[in-house]
Amino acid sequence: MGFRDLFNERREQVRGIRPDLRIELGIGDSAEFPANRDYAYCAWDGEKARIVFAPKIRQADRSRQDALIRHELAHALLTSADLPHSERECDAVAEAIFGDLIYYDDDDVQTLVGGSRPRPPYLPNPSE
Ligand SMILES: [Zn+2]
């Protein structure tokens, strides 16, 4: 299964909870993701969420792709419901919805296997 199919499958799971929520998938320009660990962000315009991934997501392993997708979908759910939240809270929601724990690997990127949790305290905590 490719990245886009994986995203669509996870988005369908979110639709089971919030059928009304519109979520678009985008692949951004690599210049938008300057840091090694920058892979994605979620933007909310008041009507729909747009989750944008770095082009390098296509080369990421499945576990990293899936954890990032889950994390960004949790942002979409929370932000669209006007619920301010921390990055750790976002991971907690993703864990509750999808049923697996979210870890952080040696690159400080989300993953579903190995690594550490919760999110390391030295990482930035914007709603991204
Ligand atoms: Zn985030």
Ligand 1 centre distance from Cα of residue 19 (Å):
22
Model-wide pTM > 0.75: yes
Give the Cα separation of 27 and 108 in Å (integer).
21
User: Does domain 3-111 fall into CATH 3.30.2010?
Assistant: yes
- So where are the chain's domains? 3-111
Ligand 1 centre distance from Cα of residue 2 (Å):
22
Ligand 1 centre distance from Cα of residue 72 (Å):
6
Contact 89, 78 (CB under 8 A): yes
Q: Which residues pair with 116 in a beta bridge?
A: 104
Q: What is the pLDDT along the chain (128 residues), one digit of tens a residue?
A: 899 999 999 999 999 999 999 999 999 999 999 999 999 999 999 999 999 999 999 999 999 999 999 999 999 999 999 999 999 999 999 999 999 999 999 999 999 998 999 999 999 887 44
